[in-house]
C-alpha cells in the first residue's frame, strides 16, 4: 500500500528529526571503535554512510517539497 502525501510528509519529518541524529551517533560510535583513520578516509566513510542512510528512505522523501498532488485545486 502506497503512502499518502501527508503520511510521507509526516514520516519524513520523523525520520529527519529522530532517525538522522540516532544514525549520526551510531556512525560516529562505529568509526570511533577503530583507530582514527586519515582525514580523507574518514570523510569517505562518513559520506558512504550518509548515502547508505538515505537509500532506503528515497521513496518517502520523493516529492515532499512539491505541492500536495492529492489536494483539490480551488478555482
> Is the confidence at residue 1, as pLDDT, over 70?
no
pLDDT tens figures, 4-19: 888 889 999 999 999 9
Asked if 58 contacts 28 with a C-beta cutoff of 8 angstroms, the reply is no
Whole-prediction pTM: 0.72
Looking at the chain, the whole-number percentage of residues with pLDDT higher than 70 is: 95
In terms of C-beta distances under 8 Å and separation of at least 24 residues, what long-range contacts does 24-32 make, across chains too? 27/53
pLDDT tens figures, 22-36: 999 988 888 888 888
C-alpha cell at 44: 569517505
Amino acid at each position: 500500500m502506497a503512502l499518502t502525501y501527508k503520511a510521507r510528509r509526516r514520516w519524513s519529518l520523523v525520520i529527519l528529526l529522530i532517525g538522522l541524529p540516532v544514525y549520526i551517533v551510531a556512525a560516529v560510535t562505529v568509526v570511533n571503535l577503530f583507530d582514527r583513520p586519515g582525514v580523507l578516509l574518514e570523510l569517505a566513510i562518513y559520506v558512504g554512510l550518509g548515502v547508505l542512510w538515505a537509500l532506503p528512505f528515497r521513496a518517502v522523501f520523493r516529492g515532499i517539497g512539491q505541492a500536495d498532488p492529492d489536494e483539490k485545486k480551488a478555482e
